[in-house]
A and B are shown apart, each in its own frame.
Chain A
Amino acid sequence: DGGITQSPKYLFRKEGQNVTLSCEQNLNHDAMYWYRQDPGQGLRLIYYSQIVNDFQKGDIAEGYSVSREKKESFPLTVTSAQKNPTAFYLCASSIESGRVYNEQFFGPGTRLTVL
């Protein structure tokens, strides 16, 4: 059963703590992405990775970090430096960044709340 999984579904964090959100895909996609969605808004790109061991900042990377050690996995760490981390986080993947055909598919998301 191919797809993108994210865990946990809900996450609560105290101020000052770092948390890591998991994203795994078994679609054999090269490219993976992290987006943030605030209430009533569209999605904004945090980080993306076109290939293993390489990633680039998106539009709102400050206060976040990522790693891409395996093709299947692209975890996102929300650090204490992120001033307003409460949001809905969505992970996506596509077959290969930069190709003519590059449809992105999304996971179910993680809702992060900072208490």
Chain B
Amino acid sequence: GIQVEQSPPDLILQEGANSTLRCNFSDSVNNLQWFHQNPWGQLINLFYIPSGTKQNGRLSATTVATERYSLLYISSSQTTDSGVYFCAVEWTGTASKLTFGTGTRLQVTL
């Protein structure tokens, strides 16, 4: 099956700082999603981005499918950005099934 690796595993930032989270995957994908899991466990959809670049407020994401990676950028971080960020991919070999990475745990401090 496909392997999904996220880095860094843990990240501590001061409020206002910028960060880049990375997702590497080992094979071709149909789709890629970024999620934020809040402290209550809810998974919040951030981006659906199989290729290209998207922006939503302080967050943006870029997926380079040919090189098998995606990046999530968080600018001017806020304490409410704390939580775990997951990348999940739909491998071309298994349509409709998402394979998740192990996540990046982000803590934003005052």
What secondary structure prevails in chain B residues at the interface with A?
strand
A68 to chain B, nearest CB (A): 14
Interface residues of B in 1-55 (CB under 8 A from A): 1, 4, 30-31, 33, 35, 40-43, 45, 48
Interface residues of B in 89-105 (CB under 8 A from A): 90, 95-103
In the complex, which residues of chain A have a beta carbon less than 8 angstroms from the beta carbon of B65? none
B41 touching A111, Cβ below 8 Å: yes
A94 touching B96, Cβ below 8 Å: yes
Size band of the A side of the interface?
20 to 34
- With an 8 A cutoff between CB atoms, is B86 at the interface? yes
Contact mask A74-115 → B, CB, 8 Å, 1/0?
000000000000001010001001101111111011010000
B61 to chain A, nearest CB (A): 14
- With an 8 A cutoff between CB atoms, is A25 at the interface? no
- With an 8 A cutoff between CB atoms, is A42 at the interface? yes
B105 to chain A, nearest CB (A): 8
Chain B interface (Cβ < 8 Å from any Cβ of A)? 1, 4, 30-31, 33, 35, 40-43, 45, 48, 86, 88, 90, 95-103
Chain A interface (Cβ < 8 Å from any Cβ of B)? 31, 33, 37, 40-45, 48, 50, 58-59, 88, 90, 94, 97-98, 100-106, 108-109, 111
